[in-house]
Structures are given as C-alpha cells and as structure tokens.
Amino acid sequence: MVSRTMLATLAAVAALTACESAPVEVRSPTAAIVVFAVLTPDAAEQVILVEASLTGRVDINDRLAFDPLDPIRTAGGEPISGADVRLLANGDDVGVQAVETRVRARGTGRYVVPRAALAVQPGQRYRLRLRTSDGRLVTGETRVPGAPAGWSPGAGTVATPVTLDRSRDTLRLQWSAVRDARTYVVRVETPYGPWALFADSTQFTLSGGLRNYFAPGLPSVWFPGFVQTASIVAVDANFYDYNRSGNDPFGGTGLISSVQGGVGLFGSVVNLLRRSITVTDRVRFPIDARWRGTNGAGATSELDLWIDVAGPTVSSVSGRVTTATERYLIGTLRGETLRLVTLSSISSADTVAVYSARVQGDSIVGSYDPRFESTGARVFRRVAR
C-alpha cells in the first residue's frame, strides 16, 4: 500500500517534470560603440580607438600576440572599421578626418590624426564626431588642461637623470598648477606596468621602498639598475571620472562615460614634468656587484646586479647590462641557481635573452636559452663597481 507521503512526493516530482520547458535561445543584445581617445599635445599623433562591445555575437581569438598597430583585435576585442572619425577644434564644423590604420589590408579600429594635420594645444576645447558605416553617431567634447607659461611639447623633460638610492633616498616632485586640470597623475614606469596615483596638490614624495599594489605579488616600484621615468600629468575631468570609476559585475556598469551615442572616454592630458631616475641600492649580498665576461666574438659584456627583494628561499634580482643601451635585467636567485631575463626596454614583456647559471664564488657560469638572443658571455667574473 502506497503511503500518503509517497503519493505527495510522486505528485510533486510529476509537477516539477511537467514544468520543464525546451531551451530558449536568447538573442545577443545590440553591441554598443566603445571609444577610447586621450588627446595629448606632446604626441606626434592623436589616436582614437573604436570597437564594439562584446556580446557573444562573434568569436574572439585570445591567442594573438599584442600588436600596437592592431591593439583592439590582438587584445581580444572587435574593431569597428570604416567609420568617419573627426576631431574638431573650436569654431570648426568640418574637422580633421582621422585615418584608420591598416594591418595586412585589414581595418583595425585604430584611427589617427597626425600633428601636421591638427596640433592639439593646451587650454583649447576639442570635439569628437564619429559616424559608423551603418549611420550611428558618437560625439564627445574635452577641454585640454592648460600649461605653464613658455610650455612646449617636451618642455617638462629633464635629460639629466636623478640618482635614487632606494635604501635611503626619497624622490620629491613639485610642479606648477595649471588651469582646467581636474587633478594630476603621478606616474612611475616599472617592468610590471605603471604605478600611478591621482594627486590634488602640486607636490608629491615617493619613498625608495614603495611597492606596486597594481601588480600581482606587490613588487617594488623602484628596481636597482633600472633607469625609470617618473612623470606628472595634468588631466581633464573626463579622464579623471573614467579612471576613478569601474565595472561592477553585480550592480552593473559603473564606468563614467564621456561620449554620447556610445560608451567610453574622450579626454585630454598635458605632460608637465618628466624625470629619468637612475635607481641604485646599497650593497647587501654577494651578488650585489658588477660582473664582467667575454662572449664568443671577443666582445666584453658587463652586468650590474642587485638583490631586489630577499626571500627565505627565492630572492628577486634586478640590474642592467652596462655595455648595452636600455638592456635591463630581472630574475631570481634560488640558492646558487640564478635565472636572468634580459629586457629590450623597461617592460617585462620585452624579453630578448634568458640566462640560466650558477653562482660559484666570484664567478657566474651558465648558458643562454637558444630561443632568444644567445651572444652574451657564458662566464662572468666579479669586478669593482
């Protein structure tokens, strides 16, 4: 005999089964036009990136190597090609048409206006007018921050490097306030991406022990052996609002957009100050020295090395190749095992050589990964720095 409880359970299961329906295909929403453009009087060309928001309509190839001339597609986006993109100065109703960059005869969604066609000036107002091939219109407006009297492109750059011993020094930056600046950005270029903060005052102090909380693992901001750029940039309200906001996956889009007819940023900045900082550190460990070797062609190669951050089992190492221009070194030291990556510039993504070795007293003995450059010395000896 079937109990009342079992009958009730069977009835509930039957009801649930009856409520099941066939899968329903939901259409992807219409893609929005996404714009990113920051006018910079220093720049040789103004760049406007135009793409479609990702809605699942197209397959994205996320295995492409990044190409700065095709930045949208190679970063996993969908470029909008064939648009009429124009920059307009005050009183101009026609504007200067931007030319789309072509890569392998294909549009990239990267549109440029060279300085010869439009020289962006501090303190001036500019408009963006963008019309896609299917007739959609996007507009925006920005007033470029002002500049100190006598300013010209590159005027804020100081060629003589400042030396920063990060164990005892601090870097003090000071600049003049300018009109129409919503705020200022203090920025330092590092191997793991820029460290940057907004600053409402006109002076800022950076300690030698600063850490980069924008990068995984909280690496140092200052790397012994590197020549790093510290800069001050005046930014407009559009730039500030866009960068202080962000996407909230639970509450919806939180980005503050400065364009009409789409989403994104049309803003402007002015470079006020730029310093080259030569970073050093005190000698604390045996590897903190200059190392000299001779390659197979008889050429001398010298490395300046420091322990960047000492760890209980693995320490990070930084330095530079003193016999080459802008060849910086990052790596690790585990016991006597040393691994060094040579960079072609400051970015950790620009690897040109990988050297694996053992530290044996006053010598470093190793070999280069054949997948990269392998013309460096295999054996290095400690010399006076």
| Same-domain pairing of 71 and 107 | yes
| Same-domain pairing of 212 and 259 | no
- Residue 119: which residues within 8 A CB-CB, separation 6 or more? 41
For residue 14, the SS3 value is helix
Whole-angstrom distance, CA of residue 210 vs CA of residue 219: 9
Residue 20 lies in a domain: no
| Same-domain pairing of 132 and 48 | yes
Q: Is the pLDDT of residue 266 over 50?
A: yes
Please state the domain count of the chain. Answer: 3
Q: How confident is the model at residue 1 (pLDDT cuts 50, 70, 90)?
A: very low
CATH number (domain holding residue 79) = 2.60.40
| Same-domain pairing of 80 and 161 | no
Average pLDDT, the chain: 89
Query: In which residue are the tokens 């259409």 written?
Result: 27
| Same-domain pairing of 292 and 377 | yes
239-263: buried (b, 16+ CB within 10 Å) or exposed (e) per residue? bbbbbeeeeeeeeeeeebbbbebbb
Residue 18 lies in a domain: no
pLDDT for position 131: 97
Q: Is the pLDDT of residue 374 over 70?
A: yes
pLDDT for position 383: 93
Q: Is the pLDDT of residue 363 over 50?
A: yes
| Same-domain pairing of 304 and 216 | no
| Same-domain pairing of 353 and 223 | no
Q: Is the pLDDT of residue 382 over 80?
A: yes
Q: Is the pLDDT of residue 208 over 90?
A: yes
User: What range defines the domain where residue 46 resides?
Assistant: 33-144+255-266
| Same-domain pairing of 139 and 164 | no
